[in-house]
Every structure is written in C-alpha cells, then in structure tokens.
Amino acid sequence: MGFLKLGVFVELFKLEDYTGQLLDTIRFRDYCPNGLQVEGRPEISRLVTGVTASLDLLKAAIDAGADAILVHHGYFWKNEDARIVGVKRARIELLLRHNVSLLAYHLPLDAHPELGNNAQLARKLDFTVAGWFGEQNTACHGTLADTPRLLQLGARVATALGRQPLIIGEESRPIRRVAWCSGGAQGYFEEAIRLGVDAFLTGEISEQSVHLARETGVAFIAAGHHATERYGVQALGEHLAAKFGIIHQFIDIDNPV
C-alpha cells in the first residue's frame, strides 16, 4: 500500500543541503560519498528510509510511492569496481527508470550525537553516553542505569533489537561500564578494553575477538550489523519529515547478519 497523495514538497537539493549541515558531513573522511548518490525528480513529498540500498529495498520503496530513498549503506564504496555492471547496474537502472533519488549517509550517521546510530542504540538499550572513541569518534562508551549480569544484558539486547545476540564472556559478570558501536566495529574492541569497560557491543564479531574476550575478561556482544543500524536512519527520516512536512516511511528489509 502506497502513501496518500499530499501537496507538500521539499526541493531535493534543499533537503540534501540541510541534511549535510545537520550531520556535518564535511568533517568526515569516509569510504563512500555522503549525500545525493543518484539524482531523481527535483521535488520530494515521500521519503523512504532503510539500512541498505539493496534491490529489495528499492522495489519496496518504489511500490510505496517514494520520491527519494535515504539509506545508511549506499553505493560507490572506496576500492570497489567503478563499472556500472551486474548488480550495481540493476539497482541504478531501477532508480533512474522510476526517477527516484538515492541519498546515503555513512559515518556521519553513525556519529551524530542525537540522530546517529550509536546515540539511538543507546536509547534503545538504556545506555548513558559518557564519551566517544574510535575512528573519527564514531563509537561510544558509557554506563548503564542499573548493573545487570551479562546474561541479563544479553536478554535486554535480544528484546530491544528483536534478535538473539552472540555473547562471549562470563554470564554472571556484573556490567557497569559498556562501549558500543553499531555495524562492523569489531576492530574497536582492543580500544574499548583499554577504556576499562566490562562489555563491548557491536554488530559483528571476528575470530580473534573471541580470544580477546576470554583472555581479558571483557565481554563481547555481537548483536547484528543490520539490527544495530536500523535506528539512526529512522530517526533522521522522522526528523526530516517533521522539518519539511513531508511523509516518511521506514522499510526494514530483514538481514540476519
């Protein structure tokens, strides 16, 4: 079922300029272009957000009547094949055929102190942000309002994110201080350990992370790359809808990773 027809529009480039300033995209050294990646119609009344600009998301957004799609994972990543062939061709051809714009915000959406993935994840899990760390300050560390055991914290994560996390650590350990970063941030684990936290939460886990957790006693919680990055893009879409009076719909294309 698509959106209702309303007469409120925002110019595409006005929305892009505002979002770029809001997320302070100019300060980031990223792996992809932030902002408009594929240009469609010049006015937007219906905005769809999602985590990744997969073909399934594009089709669902077009069926919903989107003028523009805004995602966390877009296209044109550093060191990828620059040719528009295969899967990339199919995705871009669909956008162009339907005159639908694609906007993408990667690290700026991780790092925003209110609308970002990590700020929104803190709200979902009742974490209090004490500071930022990691590459370009995109990861957080802080405290919990209570002191759950690791097993209890894992259950909280499962309830909040709708999927069972993988937990490495002593289940009875009290968790007072925690560090977290949405997505594939397992490379920040050692820095989190140096911060003196009791647990580190991110989306993915690597083989060596298991050994680090066992040998340091710092728990590792892998809660899903997709699952941990659903909330920033929703918050941004809702903010833009309120700012410009347009209609926003978040479409979740399930991903078990």
Q: Which domains, ranges and CATH numbers included, belong to the chain?
A: 10-110+230-250 (3.40.1390.30), 113-223 (3.40.1390.30)
- What pTM, to 2 d.p., does this model score? 0.95
> Would you state the pLDDT for residue 7?
75
Residue 171's alpha-carbon distances to 23, 124, 131, 155, in angstroms, are 38, 21, 26, 11
| Ranges under pLDDT 50 in the chain | 1-5
Q: Tokens in use for 116?
A: 């970002």
Q: What angle do CA 111, 117, 119 make, to 5 degrees?
A: 75
> Would you state the pLDDT for residue 112?
98
Q: Return d(Cα 166, Cα 226) in angstroms, integer.
A: 14
